[in-house]
Amino acid sequence: MTCRICNAPSEEILDLGLTPPANSLLDHPTDVQPSFPLVLELCTACHNVQLRDCMSETELYRNYLYVTPKSSMLTSHYKYLYGYLEASGYINSESFVVEVGSNIGLFLSYIKLKVARVLGIDPAENICKMAIDAGIDTVCDFFSTASALEIKRQYGVPDIIIARHCFAHNSDPHVLMRGVTELLSNSGYLVIENAYVLNTIENNEFDQIYHEHMFYYSIRSMTALLQGHGFGLVDILISLIHGGSIIFVAKRIEHIEKINRSVAQYLAREQLFLDRQAFKHFAAKAYDIRQQLQDLLKQLLDDDKTVYTYGATAKGNTLLNFMGITCNEIPLCVDSTEIKQGKYLPKSNIKIISEKDGLSNPPDYFLLTAWNYKDEIINKVRESGNYHSKFIIPFPFVHIV
């Protein structure tokens, strides 16, 4: 197919089969569950990694079930991110900050008192309502030229636009960049945080592939995208959040005065390790991990052990459905998000229960589908007095804690 960043031809890397959208949780296990292909491709020119087939954004996000969880790891990440941006002079107490894909506004709540003004924009009506109820001014819309113009008219021009984990969520990121070009002040900064494809590949995290993730950014593909809109990178920050994320700081090219050496350093590392061979290895590893997990689960069930999953995550659904696991093997999934509880995971039909219910009647093993919160979740379970349940961690290799 064709690269949606630079239009060069793309080659298939991995086909995970037909899968329902990861956050399409079911009210009843008998509900109709349409499935769509999940095929990953690599661009031969700009190294962009993308989903071959994209679903419509309206279908995916208008009524959305992903609510940013309350997590000490996330709070530490907000502190780290804000601290870095401030120390580098990209943000200060005078800044007007717009966050794209602001969800329930947790990041904006964290920085609200440190800056002059904050505004969120998010397309999910149910989620925006939660943000507004929490006191975060939020425009309910997709980010585009039209909504950017409307924000400019109503709220003015921001000094910084932050987009955390949403540049992958649109089949055409040029739409997002056109919105940025329209809205951001001339010398303003654009901060884009996303799962970093080099981490995804190195840690074998094939479960990061699902319909909401239409792009898997590298420094090279992000540079190609930005350049098409007159922007260039001025800094890069790496974080452990969400299994390994990258934070790109960009500016209009004509306003760039200084480029931090992190950009050249991380690019050199990427050029060394992110090649065709790495993607071949990644694809092979997906099948290895599937086999190991299937064997482990069979052995545990043969030994009459009980297994639940922990975290009704989007990525968990890729993992379970690629493994072919259903409620016949794993009856329950524990998750802290109220609006997910009582629903069923798509295709596997595993029922979601609260942490309280999961912890009052714990299984022998939890398959940790929210492995990115590993330490936090294991501590929580141990602090509840449960020293019995073990945890199966799927990545970077299958192991038990």
Which is nearer to ligand JHZ, 66 or 90 (by Cβ)?
66
The total number of residues written for the chain in this structure = 401
Helix axes 314-323, 276-302, angle to 10 degrees: 70
Which is nearer to ligand JHZ, 115 or 293 (by Cβ)?
293
**SS3 of residue 286 by DSSP:** helix
Largest CA distance in the chain: 65
Work out how close the CB of 263 gets to ligand JHZ at its nearest, in angstroms, rounded to a whole number.
23
Q: Which amino acid is at 240?
A: L
Work out how close the CB of 346 gets to ligand JHZ at its nearest, in angstroms, rounded to a whole number.
13
Evaluate whether 334 touches 353 at the Cβ level (below 8 Å): yes
Which is nearer to ligand JHZ, 180 or 319 (by Cβ)?
319
Rg (alpha carbons) of the chain, rounded to whole number: 21
Report the residue from 77, 165, 211, 251 that binds ligand JHZ according to the rule CB under 6 A. Answer: 165
Residue ranges in 187-216 that form contacts with ligand JHZ under rule CB under 6 A: 212
Work out how close the CB of 274 gets to ligand JHZ at its nearest, in angstroms, rounded to a whole number.
20
Number of neighbouring beta carbons within 10 Å of residue 375: 10
Positive or negative: CA dihedral 165, 206, 399, 354: positive
Which is nearer to ligand JHZ, 246 or 377 (by Cβ)?
377
Measure the CA–CA gap between 149 and 157, rounded to whole angstroms.
10
Report the residue from 20, 123, 311, 362 that binds ligand JHZ according to the rule CB under 6 A. Answer: 311
Number of neighbouring beta carbons within 10 Å of residue 302: 8
Phi, psi of 158 (to 5 degrees): -75, 155
Helices (H) and strands (E) in the chain, counts: 13, 17
Which is nearer to ligand JHZ, 223 or 372 (by Cβ)?
372
Which is nearer to ligand JHZ, 195 or 300 (by Cβ)?
195
Evaluate whether 42 touches 49 at the Cβ level (below 8 Å): yes
In DSSP terms, 186 is beta-bridged to none
Any contact of residue 373 with ligand JHZ (CB under 6 A)? yes
Measure the CA–CA gap between 186 and 158, rounded to whole angstroms.
10
Work out how close the CB of 355 gets to ligand JHZ at its nearest, in angstroms, rounded to a whole number.
6
Q: Which stretch binds ligand JHZ (CB under 6 A): 44-52, 122-130, 173-181, 329-337?
A: 329-337
Report the residue from 35, 44, 71, 262 that binds ligand JHZ according to the rule CB under 6 A. Answer: 71
How many residues in the shown chain lie near ligand JHZ by CB under 6 A? 21
Peptide bond preceding 396: is omega within 30 degrees of 0, i.e. cis?
Answer: yes
Evaluate whether 325 touches 379 at the Cβ level (below 8 Å): no
Which is nearer to ligand JHZ, 200 or 372 (by Cβ)?
372
CA atoms within 13 A on the CB side of 24: 21
Any contact of residue 350 with ligand JHZ (CB under 6 A)? no
Residue ranges in 380-399 that form contacts with ligand JHZ under rule CB under 6 A: 380
Any contact of residue 374 with ligand JHZ (CB under 6 A)? no
Evaluate whether 176 touches 98 at the Cβ level (below 8 Å): no
Any contact of residue 112 with ligand JHZ (CB under 6 A)? no
Q: Which amino acid is at 252?
A: R
Q: Which stretch binds ligand JHZ (CB under 6 A): 7-15, 132-140, 289-297, 308-316?
A: 308-316
Binding mask 51-70 for ligand JHZ (x = CB under 6 A): ---------------x--x-
Which is nearer to ligand JHZ, 69 or 232 (by Cβ)?
69
Q: Which stretch binds ligand JHZ (CB under 6 A): 225-233, 256-264, 307-315, 325-333?
A: 307-315
Which is nearer to ligand JHZ, 95 or 217 (by Cβ)?
217
Q: Which stretch binds ligand JHZ (CB under 6 A): 171-179, 256-264, 279-287, 334-342?
A: 334-342
Helix axes 145-155, 173-183, angle to 10 degrees: 20
Contact residues for ligand JHZ (CB under 6 A)?
Answer: 66, 69, 71, 165, 212, 242, 311-315, 335-337, 355, 370, 372-373, 376-377, 380
